[in-house]
């Protein structure tokens, strides 16, 4: 498997903190996989994502993208946050195209890319609506399209679906899986929901720094499982993950 991201001996201590949040963490993310990340609240999931995204600088160690050190935010790495940070004064199309406008892309190029993205996240009929008028699920789809607008190689999701109701969340899971299949990107998805981690992850990364294991990656035989096929074996697999975390 070809690695797209390599996290090497990553230690991160926030200024003024008496202990490190990430301590000598090593992780390889393969090109084209979906890795989900799970762990107790406060174990450092967002800190890891923000360091990979280049928003935080390692205290020691390094993060490589395609073999090169990540030294700051980079358009090759897209991020979708939980609160989706959209611009309420812009409509759906302008929210999606905002980053491209900042990068001084031609108007026609922006229009054509936004139009493709609107189709991909199934929001073409909402393109002129202001985002405040959309449901939570639609706003998350705008946020995903905006992250994709820069044509990143890796898209990272920080608890992006946690605030959605179960039905909307299922819809978004399908949007995410469809995008992954059609775009052949690498996804890195933080969640606090074990079922979500199993549904969406080719592999699952479990963070348990309180047990002295910064991160451990396991294979997932239940990736994209149809909920009708959830059986006793599935429940055992899920409980094993839970027992590792608690």
Ligand X SMILES: Nc1ncnc2c1ncn2[C@@H]1O[C@H](COP(=O)(O)OP(=O)(O)OP(=O)(O)O)[C@@H](O)[C@H]1O
Is the CB of 77 or the CB of 148 nearer to ligand X? 77
Least distance from ligand X to the Cβ atom of residue 127, Å: 32
| Distance set, CA 58 to CA 14, 40, 44, 77, 211 (Å) | 10, 22, 13, 17, 22
Which H or E run includes 145? helix 136-149
Q: How far is the CB of 218 from ligand X (least distance, A)?
A: 18
Q: Smallest distance, Å, CB 159 to ligand X?
A: 6
Rounded Cα distance between 26 and 173, Å, is 28
Count other C-beta atoms under 10 Å from residue 193's C-beta: 15
Q: Which residues bind ligand X (CB under 6 A)?
A: 14, 17, 21, 39, 41-47, 192
Closer CB to ligand X, 39 or 58, in the complex: 39
Q: Which is nearer to ligand X, 67 or 212 (CB)?
A: 212
Count other C-beta atoms under 10 Å from residue 40's C-beta: 14
CA–CA distance, 183 with 165 (Å, rounded to integer):
26
Q: 221: which 2 tokens?
A: 């035989």
Quote the least distance from Cβ 57 to ligand X, whole Å: 13
Nearer to ligand X, 3 or 192 (CB): 192
Would you say 149 or 161 has its CB closer to ligand X? 161
**Separation of alpha carbons 100 and 96, rounded Å:** 8
Residue 41 C-beta: closest distance to ligand X, Å: 3
- Written as six digits, the tokens of 82 are 């939980």
The conformational region for residue 189 under phi > 0 = left, psi -120 to 50 = alpha, else beta, is beta
Check if the beta carbon of residue 22 is closer than 8 Å to that of residue 207.
Answer: no
CB of 231 to ligand X, least distance (A): 29
CA 88 to chain centre: 22
Instruction: Decide: helix, strand or coil at residue 117.
Output: helix
| Nearest distance in Å: CB 184, ligand X | 28
Residue 50 or 122: which CB sits closer to ligand X?
A: 50
Q: Which is nearer to ligand X, 45 or 126 (CB)?
A: 45
């Amino acid at each position: 498997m070809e690695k797209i991201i390599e996290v090497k001996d990553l230690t991160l201590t926030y200024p003024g903190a008496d202990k490190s949040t990430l301590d000598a963490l090593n992780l390889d993310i393969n090109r084209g996989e979906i890795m989900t990340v799970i762990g107790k609240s406060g174990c450092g999931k967002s800190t890891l994502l923000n360091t990979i995204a280049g928003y935080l600088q390692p205290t020691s160690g390094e993060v490589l993208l395609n073999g090169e050190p990540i030294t700051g935010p980079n358009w090759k790495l897209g991020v979708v946050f939980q609160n989706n940070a959209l611009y309420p004064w812009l409509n759906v199309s302008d929210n999606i195209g905002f980053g491209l406008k900042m990068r001084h892309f031609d108007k026609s190029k922006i229009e054509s890319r936004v139009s493709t993205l609107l189709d991909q996240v199934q929001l073409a009929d909402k393109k002129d609506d202001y985002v405040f008028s959309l449901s939570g699920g639609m706003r998350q789809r705008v946020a995903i399209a905006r992250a994709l607008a820069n044509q990143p190689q890796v898209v990272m999701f920080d608890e992006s679906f946690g605030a959605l109701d179960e039905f909307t969340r299922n819809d978004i899971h399908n949007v995410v899986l469809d995008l992954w299949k059609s775009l052949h990107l690498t996804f890195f998805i933080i969640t606090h929901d074990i079922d979500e981690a199993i549904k969406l992850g080719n592999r699952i990364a479990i963070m348990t720094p309180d047990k002295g294991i910064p991160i451990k990656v396991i294979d997932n035989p239940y990736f994209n499982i149809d909920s009708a096929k959830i059986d006793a074996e599935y429940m055992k697999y899920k409980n094993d993950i839970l027992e590792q975390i608690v």
